[in-house]
Amino acid sequence: MAVLLASGIVQAAALEEVIVTAQKREQNLQDVGVSVTAFTGKQIDEFGFTNSVDIVAQTPNLSFGTPTGEGNNASLTLRGVGLSDFNDNNEGPVAVYVDEVYISALSGVTFQLFDLARVEVLRGPQGTLYGRNTTGGLVHFVSERPTEENEGYVELTGGENSQFEVEGAISGSLTDIMQGRLSFAHNEHDGYVHNRGPGNNDANNTDNNAGRLQLAIQPSDTIDVLLNGHASKNDAHMGAWQHESTYSPDGGITSLALPADLDVYGTCPGCDAFGYVDDDGDPWAGAYDRDGKLIVENKGGSVHLDWEVSDMTFTSITAYEQFKRTYQEDTDASPSKIVHNTYDSKIDQFTQEFRLTGTVDKLQWLTGLYFYDHKVDGGFEIDASGIDYIIGDANYEQKTASWSAFGQAEYELAPSWTLIGGLRYTEEKRKLDYLSLELNGLLPPDQNTMYDYDNTIDHNNVTGKVELDWHASEDTLLYGAISAGNKSAGFNTGLLDDTGVFGNTIRADVDYDGEELTSYEIGVKADVFGGTSRINAAAFYYDYSDFQAFAFVNLNQVIFNTDASISGMELEFVSQPIDGLDIMLGAAYLNAEANDIPLNDGSGITRDRDMTLSPEYSLNGLFRYQWPVFTGSLAVQTDFTYQDETYFDIQNQPVSRQGSYDV
C-alpha cells in the first residue's frame, strides 16, 4: 500500500475517454475491435510504473521473464506467445514500439519509463498494419509531445537499498512554428544480493540514465514534423545466479551441481567437484568468484512527418536505432572458477515507413510501405578452463533486409455494422557469417575445432485480417476477427561445433523455419452503469504452425520448429463508482501447449508440454482513492497480482518451474 501526495483535482466519477492508435490513427479504445489494455500517462505515474515491464502486473495474459537475469535480454509473452532465447541476433514475436518505431533488440525491451503519454498493449497477431514479429501482439510506448504552453516538472523518489530516482521534463514554444521538449530520468540502487565471495561486489544494483529531446515544427498549416533524439545507459552488476541442485543421467556437464543425496564426486552430498554446495537456502545471497556485469546502451533518432494532402494524410517515419550490450556472469554460481560466460553485441537498425490514409463516403482506407535494415555484430565466450574443459569463443555477423506493402480498409455496411479487411506482403533476406573456436582440454589437440558457417535465408509471407464489428448500442461493441501473424526464419548462434560437445552435430541445426499463427477471436467492449464503469472481454483460439521453440541441449541453446495450440480469454473491469475512487480488475485464462517437445534425457522421446511463461490462471487488481488536501490531493492505493504456476523452459524441467504466487 502506498500513500502519495500530488498536485491536482480529485477525479470525477465518469470514466475518461481513452485514446489509442492501435489502427494507426487516433480512436476511442471502446471503438476498436482489438483486445487492448491501455494506460494513460497519468496512470503510469500514479500506479508507480517506472520500468517498461512494470505494466505486466496490471495487464491480463501478459508475462515477462529475463532468462539471464534482471535488466538483461527480456522475453515478453502475450497469450502464451513469446521467446525464451537470449541470443542477441534473435527478435521476439511480441514486438515493442516506442513512438511508432520498432525496437528489434531484446536488450532494448527493458527500459526506464519517463514522461509518457500512454502505453498500449495489443493482443493477437498484428501482421497487417505492423508486420514482422507481431505474432503474439505488440506493446507501444508513446512519449509526451512538445507543447505550446511552457510547462515542466521534476519528481524525486527514494527507497531501501539506497534507491534514488529523479524524473523531469521541460516543454514550451521556441518560435511561432517550433516547440521543444526535453525529458530525462535517473534511477539507481545498491545491490540486494549479497556476495559471500571475498572482495567482490554485491549483485543486482542499478545505475540507469536516459534522456529524450523532441522538436515539433509546423512549417505550414498542412505539415507537421516531429524530430526525436534519445539516449540511455544501464550499468549494473547482474547475473546473480543461485546454485541449484540438478542432475544429468548421461553424466553430461549439467551434472556439476547434484541432488543433496548424491555424492558423485566424492566430495560431499550435493556438492560439485570442488566441494561446494549452497545449502543456506537464502535466495538473496551467493558466493561468486567473478562480478557479474551488464552494460546496455541505446541511442537513436527519428523524423516523423504528417502532410495533409486534399482529403488524404501522408505519413513518413524515418528512424535509426543502435544498441550495445556487454554482459558477463559467474555461470557456475560458486566460489570456484568452473564456467564463466561473456557476451558482447552491437545492433544497428534503420526503418522507413510510408503511409497514406483517407476517407471516401463510408470507406476508411490505409496503405503503406515499410523498409527494415538490421545488422548484428555479436560474440560470446564460454570459459571452463578452470576444470581444463573448454574455452569456446564465437563471433558472428547477421544482416537482415526486409520490405513490405500493406493496406487495410473499413467499410460501414450499415449504421451499426462495420467490415474490416487487410493484407500485408513481406519479403525478407537474412544472412549469417559465423565462426567459433573450441579449445577442449578433454580432446587431443588435433581434434580441437574451428566451426565456420555462412548461409542466407529468403523468407516471403502474406498476412491478413478480416473483422466484423457490431455496435449493439452507443456504449457496446461486439466484434469477431480472423487474423494471421508471421515471424521469419532465423539462425541459432549458440556455440556450434562438429564434435557434439555443445549439442549441435550437423549444420542443418543452425537455421530454423518461420512460424505462422492464425487467430480466431471474439470480444465485447461495454461502458456500463451510466459511464462510470467499463467491461472489456475477449476469447480466442490460436492455430500455431512451426512455433519456434527454444531449449537447452548441454551447454547450447537451440531453437527448433514444432506445432502448438493456444486458447484462452481475458476480462477487464474499470470503474469510478464515486468521486476519487478508481478500481481496476483483470482476470485471464490460458491453455497453451506445444507439441512433440523432446525430453531432456537424450532418449529421443517427445511429449506435449506447457509453453513458457504461460500460467493457466492469473488475476490483477488495483484500488486507488484520492481526495483534495489544501492546494493538492492525497491518495491511498493498493494493488495485487496473482499468477498460477508456470515454466521458464519449454521442456518443463522441475528446476525451471515457478510455483503460483501473489503479490
| CATH (domain of 430) | 2.40.170.20
| pLDDT score for 655 | 75
Using left for φ > 0, alpha for ψ between -120 and 50, and beta otherwise, residue 529 falls in left
Does a structural domain hold residue 568? yes
Q: Phi, psi at residue 255, to the nearest 5°? A: -90, 20
| pLDDT score for 633 | 87
Does a structural domain hold residue 463? yes
Place of cell 514500439: 97
Does a structural domain hold residue 280? no
Distance CA 335, CA 245 (A): 16
Q: State the sign of the Cα–Cα–Cα–Cα dihedral 64, 69, 74, 77.
A: negative
Does a structural domain hold residue 108? yes
Does a structural domain hold residue 256? no
Contact 534, 528 (CB under 8 A): yes
Low-confidence ranges of the chain (pLDDT < 70): 1-13, 66-72, 198-200, 239-240, 242-266, 270, 272-274, 279-281, 385-391, 438-449, 495-508, 553-556, 600-603
Q: What angle do CA 567, 569, 572 make, to 5 degrees?
A: 160
* Structural domain boundaries enclosing 58: 2-155+355-662
pLDDT single digits (tens) 530-559: 999 999 999 999 999 999 998 876 556 788
Q: Which of 469, 465, 463 is nearest to 419 (CA)?
A: 469
Distance CA 230, CA 177 (A): 22
| pLDDT score for 504 | 45
Distance CA 473, CA 492 (A): 51
SS (H, E, C) 286-322: ECCCCCCEEEEEEEEEEEEEEEEECCEEEEEEEEEEE
| pLDDT score for 586 | 98
pLDDT single digits (tens) 160-184: 888 899 999 999 999 999 999 999 9
Does a structural domain hold residue 181? no
pTM for this predicted structure: 0.91
Which residues are paired to 140 by β-bridges? 97, 120
Report the Cα 515 to chain-centroid distance in Å. 18
The count of structural domains within the chain is 1
| pLDDT score for 257 | 44
Show Cβ contacts of residue 317 under 8 Å, excluding neighbours closer than 6 positions: 100, 101, 302, 303, 304, 305, 351, 352, 353
Does a structural domain hold residue 136? yes
Q: From the CB of residue 454, how many other CB atoms can be counted at a distance below 10 Å?
A: 12
First-to-last CA distance in the chain? 11
Which residues are paired to 308 by β-bridges? 313
Q: Which of 445, 340, 327 is nearest to 378 (CA)?
A: 327
Does a structural domain hold residue 652? yes
| pLDDT score for 441 | 58
Show Cβ contacts of residue 421 under 8 Å, excluding neighbours closer than 6 positions: 408, 409, 464, 465, 466, 467
